[in-house]
Structure 1
């Protein structure tokens, strides 16, 4: 062929020669390659083609998923940097407490056997969560007054119809309830709103040991586009609560943007309830007691002058250093490099003494701890 390229026959001949040199079963298949109408290189390319399922598995994409399942492959690598945020241990404790409170409250609300469980807490992008909400669903927007932020609570259709069925006297059917695509009626939205208010009341009680907060109901929406409370790219915490009522039940999703809980982020980073990041009265009292009993050296400095190193090296026997100080000048009382107060030089019997001429400089710490330590010492003695 012109241009130095090989024809298909030449490629086939080289392939047959390579197989014949290897011998064995591979050589027996050379006739099949020669009989083939297409070149071996083209057949190899056809054998490497992946089907759609294999491509979806490689990319970690499932068209039937709602976006809430664990992802893998290249999609997980892309999304991991977008929703990877610090862990908040105290938040898990708060929602565990919410599960216990909500179990009792929903039992009283429905007069039925209700079990609430925590399916998980994860970080998601708010826009991805809105796009993954299965419709129909009721979305409730609530406001955290002290945090000056909003949250979103989603009640899926299965739980909505289950609550309505229980409260309006429906029988307990073992068959799966059919989800209708019609809009919700006023009675249905009123019942769900009342249930949402019950959940918000328990959420306030769950957060109370950590920080006081008031969750106020804002509005109900059935279209996710009208329930946007933050930018779609912002991260949010998604809490999934499963409510089971014997053969019925559903899921409640609580989405709280990270911007909403930012005022209490330091508190939520605690490892356990009551962990202290600031003042500790017990340690303060112990430290004050030890400082009160510690021994330290105090120096009375009559005169202090800084000289160049060259002047000091040139000093010789008989040289005189002039002290620029008067006879009635005050001396400094120092503890290390800290100046405590000033005093006057004098004599008491056979010893040189000083008389305090000014009060001590105020301490940078409060004296409450030292007073408490002194009281403890008096009681101990």
Structure 2
């Protein structure tokens, strides 16, 4: 820190220089100070500041999505936001969380290894109370017991919903498919990496109604190492501007291609009275109002989409598409009274 001299001290310094008591070179010589950076070899920094910042941005998106989904499920005001993103050893993380607590072991497919989602007991029991019809105000929070089988099943459903938000928040970097493996309550039993292994810890401040607590998402460096180069601001923002990668589009197309839809080629319709329907016999002929020269309407999921003509391919009946039905024509076809000719 620079020291500011008073006017009296300046006058004394000038007088000393004039009298020769102090050499000018001594005054001009600045003290040499070496800047020393403390480095702990037991816990080396493996994440750069830029990578930490990118992880923070990703989980800010995750926090917004979780806020919306939990608010809808619990029918209560839920607030989730990123409090901090730090790197520390796995042992330090385990020691920092309470016992018992709610710990979900997360399979980070396609990444190797696992991660941990930890929810503070205050938030856990507030969520359970809300889902069981209580106020969820945290008035009764049992501190020293494990979750019952029913409570554990309820929290599994909550964690699965949260992991769906995580997948969406990570999609700019990797097509993450997180799966809940198991739920533990004792941190000592959740040994997914050696104690000295470095992890990145995302701490999320969570508020359910008036109850406040923490959620922690712990990701080991070994798990996130294959995509560490993608955790840069340049890669992140370029992916966001593109609105999605080619890989994402291929995934969407692949999923859409497996969806089954119904196609119906409608020859014609007409209105009959019930007594006429009851009197229909074999070999009776029903005259449809459609001319053989008129094209048929091909409906996809009961929506008119194409005009077509009937035919045969080999031994199978078929239709040939001749024209796409425009939006205006679709409205006309849908509003057309039954039995009216095309």
TM bin (shorter chain): 0.5 to 0.7
Spell out the pairing of 1:64-213 with structure 2 (5 A cutoff).
82-85=43-46, 86-87=48-49, 88=51, 89-171=53-135, 173=137, 177-213=140-176
Q: Are 2:229 and 1:229 aligned?
A: no
Indicate if the aligned counterparts of 2:125 and 2:141 stay in contact, CA closer than 8 A.
no
- The Cα of 1:177 is off from its aligned counterpart by 4.6
Give me the whole-angstrom Cα distance separating, in 1, the residues matched to 2:190 and 2:130: 27
Q: Are 2:231 and 1:268 aligned?
A: yes
Give me the whole-angstrom Cα distance separating, in 2, the residues matched to 1:189 and 1:251: 18
Give me the whole-angstrom Cα distance separating, in 1, the residues matched to 2:198 and 2:103: 18
Gaps of 5+ in 1: 1-75, 277-381
Q: Aligned with 1:239: secondary structure?
A: strand
- How many equivalent residue pairs? 200
Q: Aligned with 1:195: secondary structure?
A: helix
- Note the aligned Cα RMSD (angstroms): 2.2
Give me the whole-angstrom Cα distance separating, in 1, the residues matched to 2:86 and 2:74: 29
Give me the whole-angstrom Cα distance separating, in 1, the residues matched to 2:186 and 2:74: 27
Give me the whole-angstrom Cα distance separating, in 1, the residues matched to 2:238 and 2:116: 29
- The Cα of 1:84 is off from its aligned counterpart by 2.4
Structure having the higher Rg: 1
- The Cα of 1:128 is off from its aligned counterpart by 1.5
Indicate if the aligned counterparts of 2:123 and 2:208 stay in contact, CA closer than 8 A.
no
Q: Quick one: structure 1 residues 188 and 249, their matched pair in 2 at CA, closer, same or farther if it must change by over 3 Å?
A: farther
Q: Are 2:216 and 1:253 aligned?
A: yes
Indicate if the aligned counterparts of 1:90 and 1:271 stay in contact, CA closer than 8 A.
no
Q: Quick one: structure 1 residues 199 and 172, their matched pair in 2 at CA, closer, same or farther if it must change by over 3 Å?
A: closer
Give me the whole-angstrom Cα distance separating, in 1, the residues matched to 2:226 and 2:187: 27
- The Cα of 1:161 is off from its aligned counterpart by 0.8
Indicate if the aligned counterparts of 1:83 and 1:123 stay in contact, CA closer than 8 A.
no
- The Cα of 1:104 is off from its aligned counterpart by 0.7
Gaps of 5+ in 2: 1-36, 240-342
Q: Which residue of 1 aligns with 2:203?
A: 240
Give me the whole-angstrom Cα distance separating, in 1, the residues matched to 2:43 and 2:85: 17
- The Cα of 1:172 is off from its aligned counterpart by 5.3
Indicate if the aligned counterparts of 1:90 and 1:272 stay in contact, CA closer than 8 A.
no
Q: Aligned with 2:118: secondary structure?
A: strand
Give me the whole-angstrom Cα distance separating, in 1, the residues matched to 2:79 and 2:41: 33
- The Cα of 1:272 is off from its aligned counterpart by 5.7
Scaled by the length of structure 2, the TM-score of the pair is 0.55
Give me the whole-angstrom Cα distance separating, in 2, the residues matched to 1:178 and 1:146: 37
Scaled by the length of structure 1, the TM-score of the pair is 0.49
Q: Which residue of 2 aligns with 1:46?
A: none
Name segments (4+ residues, structure 1) moved above 2 Å. 76-81, 175-180, 269-276
